[in-house]
Structure 1
Amino acid sequence: MSNKHEYRSVFAPYISAFMKIKSAVVSKTADYGHTLKQWDDAMILNKRSELYVTKEMVCEWEKSLYPTSDVTSYHKHSQLIQFLKYLCRLGIECYVPRLPKRPTSTYTPYVYTHDEIIRIFAAIDEAELSRPTPKSCLMCMPCLFRLLYATGMRISEALSIRNEDVDFSNNFIILRKTKNNKERIIPMNERLKEVLMQYIKYRDLVPVEGISNPDRYLFVSGLGKPFSTNTPYTFFKRILEKCGIHHRGKNEGPRVHDLRHTFAVHTLHRMSSEDVDLYAGLPILSVMLGHASVKETEWYLRLTREFYPEIIEKMSATTGGVFPELDKNNMYHGKGN
């Protein structure tokens, strides 16, 4: 998504250059833009006109922020620190603060049952607009959510796919903008391929010039424009309510991202039921999910303990305790989750 902020401080050209670099490697740069806009505003408010950064200037920025959660504060400091290190590499003298301790996550992932998945897709297929609008993204939703569940990709990764990234001849999708900034190839089975081809067939009937061009986004609104993650989030919340799957409260879910967790758990369950060697299959799942290491994927084996304990038993028989027990609170801070 484009950065719409206007920067006016002495740091403005450097912020703009930094944002261009970030947009080339990060699929979602809006948060960076907002954080650096707050930095820009603080510099103007405090009449900072010299091109250097002191500890006092960082404190001024911190004081200008609205009260935020520990998680939000952590991410804002991380984003500012990245910018300040960028300035340092350009030879600009900067005080770089230490990154605050990462807040402990209390979120417990929600794994949808197979019955819930069936009900969710049925509700998505039956969804209708309350009133016609060309901005609607409803035509994308049946395909988008099936793609998330069938591949375990993140919603931001799915929305960054362009037409040229989908290869029907070789049955794979290339993900170029990922959380770890590493491209990866996602295979398509025949059912997913059929769903994607059907979606594209009807999408291309939308009277928007160039909607099928290779460099255009795969998932677009009726105006042919890409959309933010907020759109599927809001839509999915209504679907869950319709299916009688109630939100369990703050940090309890369920969420769109839980489709990723569900994909991993259901995949492991299927491997187990088909007598696939989980010791050999786990690295494949790890690559599919875009994890930096198999240890990150090991979390999903721990997650399945409650739902499919026989998987853990099979894994223990093959690994012999190679993988250690891990603290649940660290689970969702791994690079690949």
Structure 2
Amino acid sequence: MKKRFISPFGLAIKRYLKLQRSLGRILDENEYVLGYFDRYLAAHFPETKYVTRAMVVGYLETMSHVHSTTRCARLSIIRQFCRFLFQLNPKTYIPETKLIPPAKRKTEPHIYTPEELQSILRRTSRLAPLDSLRPHTFTSLISLLWVSGMRISEVLKLNLEDIDLSTGIIHVRQTKFYKSRLIPLARSSTAALERYYNRRAQYGHDQHPTAPFFVNECAKRCNYITIQIVFHELVRQLGIKTAQGKPPRLHDFRHTFATRWLSEFYHSGKDPTACLPVVATYLGHTDVTKTQVYLHPSLEVLQTASKQFGAHAMQKPIKTRRNPK
């Protein structure tokens, strides 16, 4: 159902969203945020002709309970809309980017060890009911997060047609920032997914290409909230905690994936700078600077990097400037 915009800027919001969609952009979040902004303006500034700083600041104050990361994201949406309005009325206030203090990271990522992964998988394999597909679903899903670096949302959106078991290629479609990518898997990982696929068929689940790959007990696509609740209970039982004493997240498997690759690069003697774009491709990043956020080298890796740099520096000839004749 389309939102009804009721403020003096309602028509402008519709025009803005229509323009952005004509450029191929998906704007569900924008429509949600602008809808709340519209209702705030209708309630507090019903006769206004243009957006002012007081309006934006007042709107942000209604979100004081929301984390600064979310507030920054919503301010960015308002800012882009105000830039559009500025073309129609130069009196429009365009929010400065530093109107909200920089967001602090909510949680330090937890880098799972292979031992922690094995303990988690042993628990998922014993999930009730044992004679159902459920334990296989959780085991296969978490294993895929470990070996692929995919976002949990991407894994849950996979359909049967998205996984080519003959080539070991996963097609991730229209994910974050509306990009698609291909992810190659090792033979062992492909074999594990094939075993789950066969079990899924044995339980009589839909085999249509557009059917969800991971299904729950109701033969529906797995729900993120349910997966998260079960996972948090598993890690709680196992006593796995972050450095801050909090339960680790499913998203931390993505951080773990990138960090494991970095460690492998150093231990195998490969050039991390040359190999980093490979990790970025797996993670779906077009800019390696975004991938660096997911890298959390251990002390051992840092020591290895230091030794390699020292060896490189010793081999590099020192150029001296000759005295002119």
The interval holding the TM-score normalised by the smaller chain is: 0.7 to 0.9
Q: Which residue of 2 aligns with 1:124?
A: 124
Q: Which residue of 2 aligns with 1:269?
A: 263
Residues 87-109 of structure 1: CA deviation (Å, up to 9, x unaligned) = 678x6885432233432336432
Q: Which residue of 2 aligns with 1:294?
A: 288
Contact kept? 1:268, 1:311, Cα under 8 Å? no
* TM-score, reference length from structure 2: 0.74
How far has the Cα of 1:149 moved from its partner? 0.8
Q: Which residue of 2 aligns with 1:234?
A: 229
How far has the Cα of 1:58 moved from its partner? 3.0
5+ unaligned residues in a row in structure 2: which ranges?
314-325
Aligned with 1:199 (options 196, 199, 203): 196
Q: 1-side partners of 2:116 and 2:136: how far apart?
A: 22
Residues 252-303 of structure 1: CA deviation (Å, up to 9, x unaligned) = 65221211121122223334444444443333223222233334445566x2
Percent identical among aligned pairs is 24
Q: 1-side partners of 2:14 and 2:134: how far apart?
A: 36
How far has the Cα of 1:78 moved from its partner? 2.1
Contact kept? 1:110, 1:258, Cα under 8 Å? yes
How far has the Cα of 1:77 moved from its partner? 1.3
Q: Is residue 306 of structure 1 aligned with residue 303 of structure 2?
A: no
Q: 1-side partners of 2:311 and 2:85: how far apart?
A: 50
Aligned residue for 2:124, secondary structure, equals helix
Q: CA RMSD in A?
A: 3.9
Aligned residue for 1:219, secondary structure, equals coil
5+ unaligned residues in a row in structure 1: which ranges?
321-337
* Aligned 1:21-170 pairs, distance under 5 A: 21=21, 32=30, 34-46=32-44, 48=46, 53-65=51-63, 67-85=65-83, 95-99=93-97, 100-105=100-105, 107-128=107-128, 140-170=137-167
How far has the Cα of 1:245 moved from its partner? 0.8
Q: 2-side partners of 1:231 and 1:109: how far apart?
A: 21
Higher Cα Rg, which structure? 2
Q: 2-side partners of 1:231 and 1:87: how far apart?
A: 42
Q: Is residue 259 of structure 1 aligned with residue 217 of structure 2?
A: no
* TM-score, reference length from structure 1: 0.72
Aligned residue for 1:185, secondary structure, equals strand
Q: 2-side partners of 1:319 and 1:217: how far apart?
A: 50
Aligned with 2:180 (options 169, 178, 183): 183
Alignment-mate amino acid for residue 285 of structure 2: H
Task: Give the direction of change, closer, same or farther, for the CA distance of 1:92–1:201 in structure 2 (3 Å limit).
Answer: farther
Q: 2-side partners of 1:206 and 1:169: how far apart?
A: 22
Q: 2-side partners of 1:170 and 1:84: how far apart?
A: 48
Task: Give the direction of change, closer, same or farther, for the CA distance of 1:299–1:310 in structure 2 (3 Å limit).
Answer: farther
Task: Give the direction of change, closer, same or farther, for the CA distance of 1:66–1:115 in structure 2 (3 Å limit).
Answer: same
Q: 2-side partners of 1:60 and 1:173: how far apart?
A: 46
Q: Is residue 171 of structure 1 aligned with residue 171 of structure 2?
A: no
Contact kept? 2:266, 2:305, Cα under 8 Å? no
Between the two structures, name the one with larger relative contact order (CA 8 Å, sep ≥ 6).
1
Contact kept? 2:240, 2:247, Cα under 8 Å? no
Number of residue pairs the alignment of both structures matches: 305
Aligned with 1:218 (options 202, 213, 217): 213
How far has the Cα of 1:143 moved from its partner? 1.7
